[in-house]
Amino acid sequence: RGGHAVPPHPVWLRLPLDMLHLAMAAIWVGGLIQLIAYLRHDAVTIEHVERYSRWMAFVVAILVATGLYAAYVEIGLDRAALADTTYGRLVVVKSILLIGIVPLALLNRRRNVPGLRGANGAQPNEARRQLRRYVLGEIALLLAVVAATAALIQTPPARVSVEAGLVDADIAFASGAHAQLVLDP
């Protein structure tokens, strides 16, 4: 019953939403990595960057919505589950990192992308360099989000930590194997 790996009930809803969440994260990270490579070699047109920017707004909106649902399922509306559990604190860290990415993405979309066309007196070459810097910043923050997610996956959900009578234990065997034991009265 731990983390992202095994969705709680209702599985029919949570599992597809988790898959959608993972797909959107992969599209965002992969798209940024591809964009930075294309920008480095001047192999992308302004139209491609504008189209990418529009699609990423949609991708990020779906990513945030599915992430909020997953956090609600795993934490609920219990303030103690959010603040007093490792899982809850990791969700807060992940959220803060994502919130840190938003200004970079908005500046890219509103200033650097139009600057590629020379809008508002911007120099296209300087706008391209600035766009590369901001995309690198987004990638760096997203790598931190991935690291927080890796820790989150290995952490028992907040609802497990605060549920009375629930036992969640990791058992290590001499052979090196591990088993997770969950007893739910």
SS3 label, residue 181? strand
Residue 183: beta bridge partners? 167
Instruction: Give the model's confidence band at 180: pLDDT under 50 very low, under 70 low, under 90 confident, else very high.
Output: confident
pLDDT, tens only, 108-158: 888 888 888 877 677 888 888 888 898 999 999 999 999 999 999 888 888
pLDDT, tens only, 30-84: 999 999 888 888 777 888 888 888 899 899 999 999 999 999 988 988 888 889 8
Q: How many C-alpha atoms does 145 have within 13 Å on its Cβ side? A: 22
Contacts of 170 (CB under 8 A, 6+ apart): 178, 179, 180, 181
pTM (predicted TM-score): 0.77
Exposed / middle / buried, residue 139 (Cβ in 10 Å: 0-12, 13-18, 19+) = middle
